[in-house]
Structure 1
Amino acid sequence: MATSSQQGKVDRNWQELLQELRVAQTGVQILTGFLLTLPFTPRFEDLEESRHAVYAAVLCCAVAATFLLMTPVALHRALFHRHARPWLVEAAHHSSRWGLGTLALANVGAVWLILDVVATTWVAWLVATLVVLFVLVAWVLVPAREVKID
């Protein structure tokens, strides 16, 4: 049985996680919606078959991110009134991390695909690589450094 202070911490963690998910879900839903409309545009048919494969991979990442970022809500509904909040917070944490990772992949892929169409393949690779580096620094290196400082 969790103490009052432990339960308070779990509740705070849950509320913070939900707030973070609200931000991430908005971004992933916009990207996924945009990607779902692309095949219905006139220029889509003009893309090479290899670009269609890239598009399919990017779309799959975006859809996976959408579901992974919605998973905590679905789990909460499934476990409502079952006193599973500590487990739920942990599961939601992992689902959110995977969701953010697949969202990052979808964004990098979308940047590459768009720049490959409107600029050159070289520019697409350059900018996609810069986006990957930015994500690694902002999402991995900065938090790792902060943990070492504390």
Structure 2
Amino acid sequence: MTPSGAQREGRDESPEERADRRWSELLQEVRVAQTGVQILFGFLLTVVFTPQFASLGTTDKRIYVVTVLLGAATTGALIGPVSFHRLVTGRRLKPQTVTWASRMTLLGVVLLLATVASALLLILRIAMHNAAVPWVTGGLVAWLALCWFGLPAWARHRYARKG
């Protein structure tokens, strides 16, 4: 309760405390995403060294290259917050660091969606050899987009503070 008797909303924290809390939360989120990216990217890097890679057609090899490039970009975006923080630590830029790290993380998640989509397309083209591949890939990408972006956007809109 405030002195006027009105109920306060939110946390009672200073801007520095808020930045520290948001940074800790962001690091936990990045750790989860990085684990998946590291596994996927590590797998992608080994594919080119398998005997079957040489037998892939030109289109599949191009999809593979795009997938690896997307995986590298995803890795960069999700590791970016760590180097950003390390380079500005001690300069009293925590709120700005959190903002930029959050943006890089969101970009990393978007790139991860593109990487997964590309990897699915390649794997399903090789495994299924039929016209259903784009539809199956599209359906799975739509599902991921709903889980990763649609539901959070809906919740944000649905539970936004009025006034």
Same-fold call, TM > 0.5? yes
- Per the alignment, residue 64 of structure 1 pairs with 73
- Per the alignment, residue 34 of structure 2 pairs with 25
- Per the alignment, residue 6 of structure 2 pairs with none
1:7 aligned residue (12, 16, 29): 16
**Contact 1:116/1:123, CA 8 A, preserved across alignment:** no
Provide the TM-score with structure 1 as the length reference: 0.94
- Per the alignment, residue 106 of structure 2 pairs with 97
Q: What CA distance in whole angstroms lies between the structure 2 residues aligned with 1:58 and 1:121?
A: 20
1:132 aligns with 2:141: yes
**Contact 2:70/2:115, CA 8 A, preserved across alignment:** yes
- Per the alignment, residue 5 of structure 2 pairs with none
Q: Which stretches in structure 1 are left out of the alignment for 5+ residues?
A: none
CA deviation vs aligned residue, 1:117-144 (integer Å, no higher than 9, x gap): 0112423212210122112211222112
Aligned-pair identity (%)? 35
Counterpart residue identity of residue 29, structure 1: Q
**Contact 2:85/2:97, CA 8 A, preserved across alignment:** yes
CA deviation vs aligned residue, 1:32-74 (integer Å, no higher than 9, x gap): 1000000100110000111111100010011100010000000
Counterpart residue identity of residue 133, structure 2: A
Structure 1 residue 111 displacement after superposition? 0.9
- Per the alignment, residue 16 of structure 1 pairs with 25
Q: Which one has a larger percent helix, Structure 1 or Structure 2?
A: 1
Q: What CA distance in whole angstroms lies between the structure 1 residues aligned with 2:76 and 2:130?
A: 31
> Number of aligned pairs?
148
- Per the alignment, residue 10 of structure 2 pairs with none
Q: What CA distance in whole angstroms lies between the structure 1 residues aligned with 2:135 and 2:141?
A: 10
**Contact 2:113/2:144, CA 8 A, preserved across alignment:** yes
Q: What CA distance in whole angstroms lies between the structure 2 residues aligned with 1:71 and 1:122?
A: 38
1:109 aligned residue (94, 114, 118): 118
RMSD: 1.4
Q: What CA distance in whole angstroms lies between the structure 2 residues aligned with 1:71 and 1:96?
A: 8
Provide the TM-score with structure 2 as the length reference: 0.86
2:53 aligned residue (39, 44, 48): 44
Structure 1 residue 77 displacement after superposition? 1.1
1:144 aligned residue (131, 145, 153): 153
Whichever of the two has the greater Rg, that structure is 2
